Amino acid sequence: MAKVCQITGRKRMIGCNVAHSKLHTKRDFSLNLKTKKFWSEEEQRFVTLKVSTKGMRTIEKKGLDAALKEAQEKGYVGLV
C-alpha cells in the first residue's frame, strides 16, 4: 500500500539535499506513518488504519467516526 495517511491524505514530499558546494540531489521527506487500531463505538469493532501522527491528533480532536466520515467524503479512505 502507498505511503499515504488515510485520514488526512498527506503524502511524501520531494525535495533536495543541498551540499556545502550548493550541489542539489533529490530526496524525499517521508511521513511518520503508523499502522494503528482504533475502537469504533458506532460499529462496535476495531478499525485498522495507516495514519500519520497528524491524523492521530485529528482523530483525538474530532473522534474516530467523524474523522472517518470526513475522510470518506474526501476519498482518502474506502469503506472501512
69 pLDDT higher than 80: yes
Q: Quick check: pTM over 0.85?
A: no
Query: What's the pLDDT band for 1 if we cut at 50, 70, 90?
Result: low
Q: What is the widest separation between alpha-carbon atoms in the chain?
A: 58
List of E strands, 1-80: 13-18, 24-29, 33-40, 45-52
All domains in the chain, ordered by first residue: 13-74 (2.30.170.40)
| Weakest-pLDDT range from 15-19, 57-61, 65-69, 74-78 | 74-78
pLDDT digits over 19-62, tens only? 999 999 999 999 999 999 999 999 999 999 999 999 999 999 99
